[in-house]
């Protein structure tokens, strides 16, 4: 099997997505082509340890949970990520992959749950959105909008209909911690009756964004 550069493998509660709160193994791969201004995992941009896929899977199996999230950085920046996901799925793990939406997802095994960002303006990277990825999403997948201000919110509202997201997949609206007041965002969602899931990053509330949590 191939190898991947890995920043960390750890066990924690899922802090985001529709499996929030479930004990999950996180495989954080190294590297990312984006530089979002609010990024909280810049430590994963470089470094890491080159690790055989068989060893990655063995570490994941140690924690005795069915849920695995492959994240980054941007995990798809390493092509062998596709091989890792296939092998995890073949072992009957429930696998999700957190991706920036800036790299082609068409090669992903259809059994994996895609949690894909669409970058709003305040990220500084909205020009990198690869909108053709939307055609590869289905009802088990999720699109996440990280919202830093009202411009982001209004942009995200338009994107819901402009890109046909409503009814295609689950939609997540998440405030930038320390920047977008979460109560204000929740009230806007209710006011506008948006068909989205509001989420706060649980791991940050519990562990203040400590690495490996």
Give the domain extent around 126: 3-207
- pLDDT given for residue 209 in this prediction: 67
* Residue 132, domain member (yes or no): yes
- pLDDT given for residue 210 in this prediction: 65
| Per-residue pLDDT at 213 exceeds 70 | no
* Residue 51, domain member (yes or no): yes
Residue 87 near residue 1 (C-beta atoms within 8 A): yes
- List the helix and strand counts (H, then E) for the chain: 5, 9
* Residue 149, domain member (yes or no): yes
Residue 142 near residue 115 (C-beta atoms within 8 A): yes
Q: Compute the distance between CA of residue 178 and CA of residue 195 in angstroms, rounded to an integer.
A: 25
Residue 78 near residue 50 (C-beta atoms within 8 A): no
* Cβ density class 61-79: b for 16+ within 10 Å, e for less: eeeeeebbbbbbbbbbbbe
**Structure tokens that stand for 57 in this block:** 């899977």
* Residue 90, domain member (yes or no): yes
| Per-residue pLDDT at 167 exceeds 90 | yes
- pLDDT given for residue 11 in this prediction: 96
- pLDDT given for residue 206 in this prediction: 80
- pLDDT given for residue 172 in this prediction: 98
Domain count, the chain: 1
Tell me the whole-structure pTM to 2 decimals.
0.94
Please provide the average confidence, as pLDDT, over all residues in the chain.
95
**How many residues are there in the chain?**
213
| Per-residue pLDDT at 208 exceeds 90 | no
The three-state secondary structure class of 173 is: strand
In this prediction, residue 212 has a pLDDT band, given cuts at 50, 70 and 90, of: low
Per-residue pLDDT tens digits for 13-60: 998 988 999 999 999 999 999 999 999 999 999 999 999 999 999 999
CB atoms within 10 A of CB 201: 18
We report the CATH number of the domain holding residue 71 as 3.20.20.70
Please name every residue paired with 50 in a beta bridge, in sequence order, or none if there are none: 5
* Residue 213, domain member (yes or no): no
Burial class (CB in 10 A: 0-12, 13-18, 19+), 173: buried
């Amino acid at each position: 099997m191939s190898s991947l550069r890995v920043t960390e493998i750890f066990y924690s509660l899922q802090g985001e997505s529709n499996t929030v709160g479930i004990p999950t193994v996180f495989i954080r791969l190294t590297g990312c082509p984006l530089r979002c201004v609010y990024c909280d995992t810049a430590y994963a941009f470089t470094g890491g340890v080159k690790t055989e896929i068989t060893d990655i899977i063995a570490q994941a199996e140690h924690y005795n949970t069915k849920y695995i999230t492959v994240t980054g950085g941007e995990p798809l920046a390493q092509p062998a990520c596709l091989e890792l996901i296939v092998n995890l799925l073949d072992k009957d793990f429930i696998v999700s992959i957190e991706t920036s939406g800036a790299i082609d997802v068409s090669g992903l095994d259809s059994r994996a749950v895609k949690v894909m960002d669409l970058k709003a303006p305040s990220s500084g990277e909205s020009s990198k959105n690869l909108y053709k990825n939307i055609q590869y999403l289905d009802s088990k997948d999720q699109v996440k909008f990280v919202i830093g201000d009202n411009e982001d919110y209004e942009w995200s509202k338009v994107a819901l209909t402009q890109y046909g997201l409503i009814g295609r997949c689950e939609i997540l609206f998440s405030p930038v911690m320390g920047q977008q007041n979460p109560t204000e965002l929740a009230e806007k969602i209710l006011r506008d009756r948006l068909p989205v899931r509001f989420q706060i990053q649980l791991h940050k509330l519990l562990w203040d964004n400590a690495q490996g949590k």
